[in-house]
Each structure stands twice: as C-alpha cells, then as structure tokens.
Chain A
Amino acid sequence: MDSPTGARPIIALRGVSKTYWRDTIEVPVLAQLDLDVADGEFLALMGPSGSGKSTILNLVSGIDSPTAGRVVVAGVDLGSLDQAALAAFRARHVGFIFQSYNLIPVLTAFQNVELPLLLTGLDRRQRKQHVLDVLGIVGLHGRSEHYPRQLSGGQEQRVAIARAIVSDPSLLVADEPTGDLDAASATEILDLLGRLNREFGKTVVMVTHDPRAAERAHRVLHLDKGVLVESVRRDRP
C-alpha cells in the first residue's frame, strides 16, 4: 500500500484496534485503523478530546500496544519486540516531545539532554559534543547549566526537543507540544519543529488542538469516533 505522499512509509498501522476496559465495561477507542506516514512527513493529528489521538502516538512510539492489528515503524514490527527490545527501539528511533516538557528537575539542561546518550556507547567527550550541538540547534547555547526551573516554558520545551533529537532518531512524536505555551513561544516551537522536519529530515507526528499549529503540517488528519479523515494536504516544499 502506497503512502499518501508517495514516499516510503516510516509508519504503517494496519487494522489497528485499541480497547480499554474500565472495570468490566469495554471502551473501544480505535477500531480497524489504517495509517501510513511517509518518511520525512510532518503530520498533524487533530480531533476532540478523548478521540484517541494520544493513543495513536503511544502505539506508534512503542510505549503501548494495540489490542489487535500491526504497527510497523522504521521497518520493525513492534508486536514482535519484547520489553527490552522495545526500549532499544525507542532509544534508537523515537524522540518524544510532551505537552508538559517532562524534564528532570534536578538535572541541568545539559544533563537532561545527555540522558538518552547515556544509553549509547559514546564517551563523555563525544556526548558533550552532541549535547552542545543540539542545544545550539534549539538556540540554547548559553543555557546548558540552567535547571528547568530557571527556564521559561518555551525554553524548557526547547530543551525537551534537544533531548528528543540528541540521539538522532528518525521520528519525532509530539503530543500537544504548544499546549502549555503562550502564542510567541508556541510559534518558536513550531518554527523549530518545521526546521527539524525540513533541514534534518525528521518525520514529525504532532497531536494538536491548535489550528495554527496544524497549519505547519503537510497533512492534517482528524480523528473522530475512531475514524481518520484527511482535511488538509499541502505539497512538501
């Protein structure tokens, strides 16, 4: 099956269902869902609260598993991986960007960004080089020794983005990355995500409620009652 943009898909969901149980009541969230995301695509997911947007991100990034169906990311069928292999998969392929940043408060910006590199074979000098590089990319050279509480929300989110890209994953998943930010900071963050997508070829899957955020995407999908509907498609530059 071809991906909508014609490029090789980095994400392929096939017949994916997800059902939660609240006590004994079944709560179906996703049913028989198909989705392809092309390598290098910037995709926005929109939809009402509770429609299952975060659930899709969780499945794609390998922190949750479907009730039925297959999730293939970067050529790997996630259903075939055990806990440790999934962790290794995330370390290698996925960069997470959360709404509330989720930085470790007792670590400096530098140390937060360094965390994913602790799992690699890089030595201290190499790690330092990588961390300073990505802090440069997100425009925070001078802030490496700052603690999260010493940074503004926008700066915190940029540290989080630096942490997400420091190990050079091909896929960035962002769950309402601008949800906690003022308009100016939100614009900065969206600019940054756009740049990472254009200049560094990162595939971005972003959940958002903000139409202006969605404007940055090549494609906007609306999720409602378990169905994905394409609303916008722009040509990639």
Chain B
Amino acid sequence: MTRFLPFILRSTLRNKRRTVLTILSLIISLFLFCTLRTVITSLAASLESASTARLITRRSTSLTFMMPASYRDRLAQIPGVEDVAYMSWFGGVYIDERNFFAQFAVDPVRYLVMYPEYRLTPEEKETFRRERTACIIGEKLARKYGFKKGDRITLRGTIFEGIWDFTVCGIALPATPDLDTNWLLFNGEYLNQRMGDFGQVGTFVLKLKDPSRAGDIARIVDATFANSAAETKTETEKAFQLGFISMLGNIQAVIYALGSAIVIAIGLVSMNTMMMAARERTREIAVLKALGFNDRTVVGLVLAEALLITLVGGLLGAGLARLVFAFSNFNAGGFFQQFKVTDGTLAQAMGIALFLGLVSGLAPAWNAARLRIVDALRHSG
C-alpha cells in the first residue's frame, strides 16, 4: 500500500483549502473533545486520591462558619476515632487575587501525622511544630513560584485581616503523582494567637480505626453536637470533595452530550468533504479502473484518503491538547489538582478520528466500487 501513498497524498492536496479547512475543524473538535474528557478524568482523579479512611467534620450550616476548638476532645472520645486534627481555611491573597492557592491553619502536630501521603523530613516537621510563623508548602506551589526553604511568603488576610508573614520550613512531596500539592499549611496556634485566642476552627479531620465504619461514626459525631450552638456535618473526605464538585454526574452527562454533538457535527463536515472530493473525481476513478485498478484497490484508495485527513486532524488536535495543557500548567485557577490529557483520552480521540475516517470514506468508497467505467467516461465530459 505504501507505493500508493504519494498518489493518496496528492489526492488530498487537490483542493488544498478544503482539505486544510476540514483538518482544522477536526483539530478543533478533537481538541475540544480531549479538553472535555480531561475535565471528567481530572475530577475522577481528584476523587480517587481522596481518602475514605478520614472523616471531615464541619459546621452544618456552611463551610465558612467556624466551631469551637474545644470540640476536639469530645470528638477524640468517640469510639472508633483514632485521632483528631483541626484545619481552618485561611483564604489569604498572595500579591494579588489571581495567584490562587489553598492555605490552611492546621494543628501543628497531629495534622501532619494524619496525612502521611505528603512526605516531610522529621526536621521539617519539628521546625513546623516549634516555629510560630513557619509554613509548609506543597511541591507544586514551590515549583510554581520558585519558593525555597527559608523563603518568606507574605499573605494578605481576607477572612483574618492583616498582613501575615510566613517562613518556608519544608516542602512536602506527594507520595503519588496524582496528589495535589498546590497549597500552604501554617501553624494553627499562630492564627489563634493573632486572633486573640478566639478558640475557633473551620473543620476537624478524624482518622478512623476502621474505615468501613465511616458512615456510623459520622452519624454519631453529628448526633453528639445536635442541638448545640454549632451543629456539625460529618462526611468522608471523599464525599466532602464530592460536595465541592457536586453534581459530577450531571457534569458528565453534559460533557458527553457536548462531546457527541461535536463529533457528529465534524463527522458530517468530513463526510461532506469526502463526498465532494469523490464526486469531482468520478472520471478519474473510472480511468484508474480502466487502467486495471480493481474495486478493492479503488476502495482502499478512497478510504485511505479519508483516513489520512481524519487521522492527521485527530493527531494534531489530540496532540495539541496534550501539549497545551502540559506546558501551560492549566488548572482552572486551582479548581483541578492536575489537568492532564491522559493516554486513554488520546486513544479515544484517535479512535474517534479513525471512526470518522471510516464513516466519511464509506459512501464514496462504495460509490467508487459500484462505478461503471463506461458510464463515468461517457458522462462527465
């Protein structure tokens, strides 16, 4: 078949503008497809990495309300709870609003113990515990801004007003690459102290002895604080994140609908291109057949031409999506832990390109096979 390649190439370039436009529309649609599918895979990946062995307890009314730090002792006494740490959303601004990343004021000892998947040296943990203004940052954040140990990071508080200076005492490495490390942790006692010993925290993290009992324990926790001044809502870490990206199912449905619509639209475009291309060449196909090209060869040539166009479009579209998101570090302003076009998505995009090529080449190929040489040579002058 390779000997026919120059011929196939020339054929696709016959009407350069039309071919280029078709390939462009394929590039755009498969780029969009890859992007949409990556939204789904990224959401799924962030859920994957969330733990079911930890519960998150927050105020039932809203995430933004706080609750007494003293709840900690009562939580720790609930059977099945192995350890409890607090973490409070800080919501500071680094230089300006566009530099979004998460900041938490955390229990300086227990929090790090509960999250062993973020790797730190014993010295780093010790410094964090000891120094009031110490902070730990994730590896991704460090890379993004070029932060090194000993650097000073200044945040402007929004919930907790004022200027807050921190010194980087450690950089946490993720145990697995899917974990998000675009964050900053600082000593919760420092927050408490600057807020005049206000004794409030945002959420508690509960480590369970037996993850399978998560549902029971969550109910017990919430029952414990029912009818108190600050009622709680407790759920697994996974469910907690699911709340953030709520209605994931709906998002998926919308995305799949969009993706299908795009693919169908482009399918029609390339089908039209191939039909037009083949119709213009009815006579040429008849000549090829007269020269001794049999039906199989002619069908192969027509299909190969359609496949060449759609596969080139697919390759460029999917490849571009992969490269663009890999190099731009796109994460929708921190919404996604990582936005990476997976191999699976690439394979699906190429599968679609292949499918489009076959579908759009099918009718012209069929016509070419059926074409009667004498008729074609008589008519199209």
**What residues of chain A have their CB less than 8 Å away from a CB belonging to chain B?**
54, 58, 61, 63-64, 83-84, 87-92, 94, 96, 98, 100, 102, 104-107, 111, 115-116, 118-119, 124, 163, 167
Contact = CB atoms under 8 A, between A and B. Distances in A.
A83 B294 CA distance: 7
A94 B283 CA distance: 19
Contacts of A124: 3
Interface stretch (B40-48, B118-126, B195-203, B284-292): B284-292
Interface in B23-41: none
Contact of B290 (A61, A119, A167): A61
Interface string B3-27: 1101100110110000000000000
A84 B294 contact: yes
A88 B10 contact: no
Contacts of B293: 87, 91, 119
A34 B377 CA distance: 25
A117 to B, nearest CB: 9
Nearest to B2: A124
B10 A63 contact: no
Contacts of B288: 115
Interface residues of B, number: 26
A163 B291 contact: yes
Contacts of A87: 289, 292-295
Contact of A107 (B10, B295, B378, B381): B10
Interface in B287-325: 287-297
Interface of B is mostly: helix
Interface of B: 3-4, 6-7, 10-11, 13-14, 283-284, 287-297, 373-374, 377-378, 381
A107 B287 CA distance: 14
B292 A91 contact: yes
Contacts of A94: 292
A106 B10 contact: yes
Contact of A90 (B6, B291, B381): B291
Given A58-B374, A98-B377, A106-B10, A115 B291 contact: yes
B7 A118 contact: yes
Contacts of A54: 378
